[in-house]
């Protein structure tokens, strides 16, 4: 089941992200531009460009998590869900207390999801 962005707090954040990405000319950088903005907004560092292919069994997770423990994948999924329901900052604060692979995967998955959503809405090219 594909998650949609339907919560008021996140809707506002998406609009703000789109404006900031356009104002700073980051739309041309694609996902890397979005990763940079997410890093600034959440304080979650970007880990460099990882494979954005999905991990087996979950279209929401980066491919490099395929060999990680189920607990790691579940934590990333929970953080993504938290971002959808409570907003980016709440999820980012929760992520900061976890291990680096969870933080990296959350950042990458969030950037992928936001990029796709911004493109689908026509907010970026």
- Determine the pLDDT at residue 75: 95
CB neighbours of residue 16 within 10 Å: 13
Q: Residue 4: helix, strand or coil by DSSP?
A: coil
pTM for this prediction: 0.76
* Residues 6+ positions from 43 with CB-CB distance below 8 Å: 92, 96
CA distance 43 to 97: 12
| Per-residue pLDDT tens digits for 18-69 | 888 888 887 777 788 888 888 887 777 666 544 444 444 566 789 999 999 9
Average pLDDT over residues 72-76: 95
pLDDT at site 52: 47
CA angle, 53 then 38 then 125, to 5°: 70
Residue-level length of the chain = 125
């Amino acid at each position: 089941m594909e998650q949609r962005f339907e919560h008021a707090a996140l809707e506002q954040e998406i609009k703000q992200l789109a404006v900031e990405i356009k104002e700073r000319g980051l739309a041309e950088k694609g996902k890397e531009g979005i990763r940079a903005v997410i890093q600034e907004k959440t304080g979650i560092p970007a880990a460099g460009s990882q494979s954005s292919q999905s991990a087996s069994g979950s279209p929401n997770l980066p491919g490099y998590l395929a060999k990680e423990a189920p607990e790691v994948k579940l934590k990333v999924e929970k953080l993504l869900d938290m971002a959808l329901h409570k907003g980016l900052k709440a999820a980012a604060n929760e992520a900061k207390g976890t291990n680096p692979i969870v933080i990296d995967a959350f950042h990458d998955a969030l950037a992928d999801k936001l990029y796709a959503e911004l493109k689908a809405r026509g907010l970026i090219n």
